Amino acid sequence: MKELLQRLTQAYGPSGSEDKVREIIKAELPGYETKTDALGNLIVEKKGSKNKIMFSAHMDEIGIIVTHIDKEGFLRFDFVGGVNPFHLPGERVEFKNGTLGVIGLEKLDKISDLTKANLYIDIGAENKEEAMKLVRVGDFASFTSPFIDLGNKVVSKAMDNRSACAVLIKLMQELPETQNHIVAVFTVQEEVGLRGARTAAFGVDPDYGIALDVTATGDTPKAMTMEVGLGKGAAIKVKDNSLLTHPYVKDKLIELAEQNNIPYQMEVLEFGGTDAGVIHLSRSGVPSGVISIPCRYLHGRSEMLDTRDLEAALALAKAFAKADLK
Amino acid sequence: MFLKELSEARGVSSREQEVRDLIREYIKPHVDEVFTDSLGNLYGVKGKEKKGPKVMLAAHMEEVGLMITSIEKNGLLRFLPVGGIDPRVLVSKPVFIGKEKVAGVIGAKAIHLQKPEERTQVLGFDDLYIDIGASDEDEAKKLVKIGDVATFTTVFGKLGDLCVGKAFDDRAGCTALVELTKLEFNCPVYFVFTVQEEVGLRGAGPAAYRVNPDFCLVLEGTTASDVAGTDEEGYSTTLGEGPAVSVMDRSVIAHPKVVGRLFRLAEENGIPLQNKRTITGGTDAGVIALSREGVPTATVAVPCRYIHSPVTVMNQSDLEHMIKLTELFVHDIAEKGVEN
Amino acid sequence: MDLAELLNSLSETSGVSGYETMAADLIAERWLPMADEIRRDALGNVIALKKGKGHGKLLLAAHIDEIGLMVKKIDENGFIRFATVGGFDFRTLVAQEVTIHGKEDLRGVIGAKPPHLQSPNDQKKAYPKDEFYIDVGLKREKVDELVRIGDIITINRQVQKLAGQRYAGKSFDDRACVVMLTACFERLTQINHNLDVYLVATVQEEVGTRGALVSSYGINPDLAVAVDVCHGEFPGVRSDKGFILGKGPVISMGPDTHPRILDKLKEVADEGKIPYQLDASTSARGTDAWAIQIARSGVACSLLSLPLRYMHTSVETLDLGDIKEGGRLLAEFALKADRQFVEGLPCF
């Protein structure tokens, strides 16, 4: 799992530019016929005669888009997805073509004045012409940060949501015997508004939806009031801003976790959303839920999670995939 | 081109009749079929039976405006915006209200009567009234009803090398679409004039669901701030440098292949084309792209200064280039398909 | 039907967004004898069909869910921290009695530090949101046995009968409008109406008109009227934003309403001598109309509102007369709107 996680998290894939992640995933699932839809969602299917369950994990990560290149070759940019500007000074970015850059900060009187307008990217170019050989206005970039192994805990950029991609890959690789019709969708553009899952769900037209995604925790010093913590198991979401988990799905997940001795915890998230937010509203409605992976320092460059929680999430996903549903 | 006529026509969200009637008249001779739907979207269809990808071209008909929400005892009218209007552009402007074009002016307390600290405050919707000259509520009610909408009165005209008018967002796109109906394409083309873009991209989603296109291009008027007091990195778009394509905005990330293809075609044919260099705002593309199983969609727009105000300024050559580029693009899609 | 009794029963039944089953069961039971068909969809919307002469499919929607609270953490002393489901003014929560719907229903109170123990400065401020908690009078171990993260919490409130036809209670937003649909339903059973009417008690409106979105997709109506509450007049409220209790339902006339449905509603109201008020609302965002209008290829839609004071509190106040008149208006509309009218809706 760790090796797969490392490859996935290190891949380049801001929203709308998920190609490299998609290729890695495809290569991991050689036994399946895969389909890529109009927006770029990767759809992997195992047919069955009973309920059609759509599992989704988004491939994209937050990033930046270049909006201007000045005479000296410095780049101005805007955010792709929920980026915190206070995380950025001194960070590094990578473009699709491999060009690297560092984020600089204009001189400010007070650090609290910082906004994205005060930040720029330096790719080491001497001037505009040289910069434009490497980067164009409208190009996307992702942040970079190495994968580090702290034992049970691992750290990298883009744990949100490549960790869930890893779980979904493993689910399909180790899919238990079931008559359910399983559709794994590796979605695009989640970070900019749950876009890929929406069109994918319309196409898949499932009976049930399960999103796999990371969630915040309340287990760090002076954290927000939240019960979820690292190492305490897969989190079963009850609510976030996009979804009230269908009570039947929630109760089923609890029941399956208890029957199979899978460590789990209940999650009430007071912000944010996942693919399940749009899956459950597809067509005439789809009972949906989320298996969450607790993750610290979300949307930063050092997202931390516990691999035991990943294993628990995988076990719970497997149990749901073969569950006898109404 | 019908830019002047379309700019001066009045059509606030859900009261698009005047604009719709005008466009219907313009396109009727050039398309096979014209119809409307329950929201008021207007469709012109051409070459329905042709092979090749089904292309949808969309522009929204309506403009931002004001709705009369109450009539005061003294005959003044209270109002609220329909669509995003910065109240700072409103004070001391004439308006026309309702079908009968009742004339009014937007007034506020005279500066002499304001305390010094009031003078730097924004005059908001609670401070502004429309005065139609009625001496009391009863007289006002004979002229205006609650729910009537008001529009700016700007007359289209030249402004040096540029032109000025109201509602170029998105009558520029409508003008382009009307011109494009005159051309022949080797694929089915749906020209959709949408409603209610300004109040939350409302009309385009149902239209896309109905048309179910293989590909869509949205033609728009967009923000330009290539003016005094703005640093170059804040221009967003520049007048006279061709239409602008948005790689990304708040509503959509344009299909990457579409953007690349637009730039290639522009380059091959000597048409100027620029990137929109900010990602604020959204267009109908946002909901069209997410219709059903997803539609490859992009937005091309004419740069407009002072958007959503009574005096929008644009360069007509940008509009002409947008029409040409769209023509080439649809031909290219008809010939080579969506995926190439 | 005794509408006051139904209003009481619905109001006092729990049904927070996503957990509407009890309230939905209640209304399904009342609607069953009047309906030609009745069903629940995947998200729990209650959908009843009252067939007419088949001149078109009219959807009438009012939401059955209410705002509520949810357990988010149990602290070491057994105090319960909560999240909100839907929008609350926290200032109205101070010193309220609540029920936690855990393994069993558990009584709780929302505590408030007395002013005696606060600094004079703090006394002037509203209690900060992160200081709210529920006291159930039990130790942590016992709370853990009975309560789980994610359990639903509702405010305890019995309906108060005020002067005349006025009532106060919780969740009148929007159960009062479900009562209005019921009044309409009852009338439909007595008349030979043109339109086939789908009455829908929608779920999850308070968290983003979610039930209306999927139910309108499923029903695929020709036209729709969403019914929801609007603000009652009150000192300090702009005259164009507050409507008078007892002067009839409010017909909305913003960009989200189809002009001919608006005209027809006014016409049948005038003919039936039904009082009504008009709202020049520039947006129906936040009501089921917002979702229904753009379902599939678009639905000719309208919004009818019920004046209500103190919205999103446990003492929402209304006039039963407005509910009755609204029910009558909707039934008259279903009676008089005909095939020609429906077929004309897409023609602009």
pLDDT tens digit sequence for C142-168: 999 999 999 999 999 999 999 999 999
Backbone φ, ψ for residue C66 (5° rounding): -130, 160
Cα angle C286-C170-C234, degrees, rounded to a multiple of 5:
70
Note whether C234 and C242 are within 8 A (CB): yes
Candidates B104, B165, B119; CA nearest to B315 is B165
Chains touching A by CB (3 or more pairs below 8 Å) = B, C
Q: How far is CA A211 from the centre of its chain?
A: 10
- What's the rounded Cα separation, in Å, for the pair C299 and C295? 7
B272 located within any domain: yes
Check residue C340 and give its pLDDT: 97
For the stretch B228-278, pLDDT in tens is 989 888 899 999 999 999 999 999 999 888 999 999 999 999 999 999 999
Q: Do B14 and C257 touch (CB under 8 A)?
A: yes
Q: Which residues of A touch C (CB under 8 A)?
A: 218, 225-227, 238-239, 244-247, 250, 265-268, 270, 280-287
DSSP one-letter code for B97: E
Beta bridge partner(s), residue A65: A78, A140
Note whether A43 and A34 are within 8 A (CB): yes
Which residues in chain A have Cβ-Cβ distances shorter than 8 Å to B247? Answer: 65, 138
Note whether B95 and B106 are within 8 A (CB): yes
Q: Does residue B52 sit in the same domain as residue B133?
A: no
Comparing CB atoms, the residue among C285, C300, C346 nearest residue B200 is C285
- What's the rounded Cα separation, in Å, for the pair A23 and A12? 11
Average pLDDT over residues B36-47: 97
Which of B122, B152, B182 is at the close of a domain? B152
Token duo for residue C190: 């007595």
Average pLDDT over residues B304-318: 96
- What's the rounded Cα separation, in Å, for the pair C131 and C81? 9
Around Cβ C21, how many Cβ atoms within 10 Å? 17
Residue with tokens 């305490």: A232
For the stretch C106-137, pLDDT in tens is 999 998 778 888 888 888 889 888 889 999 99
Check residue C121 and give its pLDDT: 87
For the stretch B139-161, pLDDT in tens is 999 999 999 999 999 999 999 99
Note whether B140 and B134 are within 8 A (CB): yes
Distances from the Cα of B20 to the Cα of B17, B282, C137, C230, C258, angstroms: 5, 23, 66, 32, 16
Q: Is the backbone peptide bond immediately before C77 cis, with ω within 30 degrees of 0?
A: no
> A202: helix, coil or strand?
helix
Residue with tokens 């709705």: B67
For the stretch A25-66, pLDDT in tens is 999 999 999 999 999 999 999 999 999 999 999 999 999 999
Q: Does residue B119 sit in the same domain as residue B249?
A: no
Check residue A188 and give its pLDDT: 98
Instruction: Kindly tell me the burial class for residue A122, based on how many C-beta atoms sit within 10 Å of its own C-beta (0-12, 13-18, 19 or more).
Output: middle
Number of domains observed in the structure of chain B = 2
> C277: helix, coil or strand?
strand
Q: Which CATH superfamily is domain C3-66+170-344 in?
A: Zn peptidases (3.40.630.10)
Residue with tokens 């959709």: B192
ipTM above 0.90, yes or no: yes
Q: Do C42 and A285 touch (CB under 8 A)?
A: yes
What is the enclosing helix (H) or strand (E) of A168?
Answer: helix A159-173
Calculate the average pLDDT of chain C. Answer: 95
Comparing CB atoms, the residue among B15, B40, B206 nearest residue C297 is B206
Beta bridge partner(s), residue C49: C37, C198
Candidates C184, C197, C258; CA nearest to C56 is C197
Question: What CATH number does residue B108 fall under?
Answer: 2.40.30.40
Chains touching B by CB (3 or more pairs below 8 Å) = A, C
Q: Does residue B111 sit in the same domain as residue B192?
A: no
Instruction: Kindly tell me the burial class for residue A55, based on how many C-beta atoms sit within 10 Å of its own C-beta (0-12, 13-18, 19 or more).
Output: buried
> B273: helix, coil or strand?
coil
Which of B110, B127, B152 is at the close of a domain? B152
For the stretch B274-307, pLDDT in tens is 999 999 999 999 999 999 999 999 999 999 999 9
Distances from the Cα of C73 to the Cα of B315, C95, C285, angstroms: 59, 20, 32
- What's the rounded Cα separation, in Å, for the pair A26 and A325? 29
Q: Does residue B72 sit in the same domain as residue B55?
A: no
Q: How confident is the model at residue C309 (pLDDT cuts 50, 70, 90)?
A: very high
Residue with tokens 């709370």: C143
Average pLDDT over residues C258-274: 97
Candidates A268, A94, A219, A234; CA nearest to A164 is A234
DSSP one-letter code for C132: -
Q: Do B20 and C348 touch (CB under 8 A)?
A: yes
A190 counts as catalytic: yes
Q: What is the largest CA-CA distance in chain A?
A: 65
Q: Which residues of A82-108 are buried (b: 16+ CB within 10 A; e: fewer)?
A: ebeeeebbebebbbbeebebebeeeee
Q: Does residue B290 sit in the same domain as residue B177?
A: yes
Which residues in chain C have Cβ-Cβ distances shorter than 8 Å to B37? Answer: 297-298, 346
Distances from the Cα of B270 to the Cα of A62, B257, B325, angstroms: 36, 20, 10
Residue C125 CB partners (closer than 8 Å, separation 6+): none
Q: How far is CA C193 from the centre of its chain?
A: 26
DSSP letters, B299-312, are EEEEEEESTTSS-E
Q: What is the largest CA-CA distance in chain C?
A: 70
> C62: helix, coil or strand?
strand
Q: Do B67 and C240 touch (CB under 8 A)?
A: no
**Overall residue count recorded for chain B in this entry:** 340
Report the CATH architecture of A2-61+157-321: 3-Layer(aba) Sandwich (3.40)
Average pLDDT over residues A133-161: 97
Assess whether pLDDT exceeds 70 at residue C223. yes
Check residue C119 and give its pLDDT: 87
The domain locations on chain A are: 2-61+157-321, 63-143
What is the enclosing helix (H) or strand (E) of C71?
Answer: strand C68-74
> In this complex, is the C-beta atom of B112 within 8 Å of any C-beta atom belonging to chain A?
no
- What's the rounded Cα separation, in Å, for the pair B56 and B207? 10
Check residue B110 and give its pLDDT: 87
Around Cβ C12, how many Cβ atoms within 10 Å? 17
Residue B85 CB partners (closer than 8 Å, separation 6+): B64, B65, B66, B308
Percent of chain B with pLDDT over 90: 90
> B108: helix, coil or strand?
coil
The domain locations on chain C are: 3-66+170-344, 68-155
Calculate the average pLDDT of chain B. Answer: 95
For the stretch B110-127, pLDDT in tens is 888 889 898 899 999 989
Assess whether pLDDT exceeds 70 at residue C280. yes
Question: What CATH number does residue B55 fall under?
Answer: 3.40.630.10
Note whether B332 and B261 are within 8 A (CB): yes
Q: How far is CA B289 from the centre of its chain?
A: 18
Distances from the Cα of A71 to the Cα of A77, A125, A155, B244, B279, angstroms: 15, 10, 38, 21, 21
The dotted CATH code for C68-155 is 2.40.30.40
Task: Provide the phi-psi class of C334: left if phi over 0, else alpha when psi is between -120 and 50, else beta.
Answer: alpha
B297 located within any domain: yes
Q: Do C253 and B78 touch (CB under 8 A)?
A: no
Distances from the Cα of B180 to the Cα of A287, B11, B28, B44, C232, angstroms: 45, 22, 13, 11, 50
Mode of pairing for the β-strands spanning A303-306 and C152-155: unpaired
Beta strands in chain A (DSSP E): 34-36, 42-46, 52-58, 63-69, 75-80, 92-95, 100-105, 119-122, 140-143, 148-150, 153-156, 181-187, 208-215, 234-239, 264-268, 288-294, 303-306
Q: Does residue B46 sit in the same domain as residue B78?
A: no
> In this complex, is the C-beta atom of B44 within 8 Å of any C-beta atom belonging to chain C?
no
Token duo for residue B248: 């990304």
Secondary-structure class of domain A63-143 per CATH? mainly beta
Candidates C216, C174, C191, C198; CA nearest to C268 is C191
Check residue C123 and give its pLDDT: 86
**Rg of the Cα trace of chain C?**
21
Contacts across the A-C interface (CB distance below 8 Å): 73
Which residues in chain B have Cβ-Cβ distances shorter than 8 Å to C257? Answer: 14
- What's the rounded Cα separation, in Å, for the pair C312 and C65? 12
Average pLDDT over residues B186-214: 97
Average pLDDT over residues A210-219: 98
CA distance B312 to chain A (A): 24
Q: Does residue B269 sit in the same domain as residue B139?
A: no
Q: Which domain range does residue B213 map to? A: 3-63+166-336
Q: Do A284 and C19 touch (CB under 8 A)?
A: no
> A179: helix, coil or strand?
coil
- What's the rounded Cα separation, in Å, for the pair A317 and A294? 15
Which of the residue ranges B117-126, C249-258, C318-327 has the most confident prediction, judged by mean pLDDT? C318-327
Which residues in chain B have Cβ-Cβ distances shorter than 8 Å to C296? Answer: 206, 209
CA distance C258 to chain B (A): 7
Backbone φ, ψ for residue B38 (5° rounding): -65, -20
Check residue C118 and give its pLDDT: 86
Candidates C111, C135, C115; CA nearest to C125 is C115
Q: Which residues of C touch B (CB under 8 A)?
A: 222-223, 238-240, 253-259, 278, 280, 282-283, 285, 293-300, 345-348
Assess whether pLDDT exceeds 70 at residue B340. no
Check residue B238 and give its pLDDT: 96
Token duo for residue A320: 């749901």
Which of B119, B152, B185 is at the close of a domain? B152
> A86: helix, coil or strand?
helix
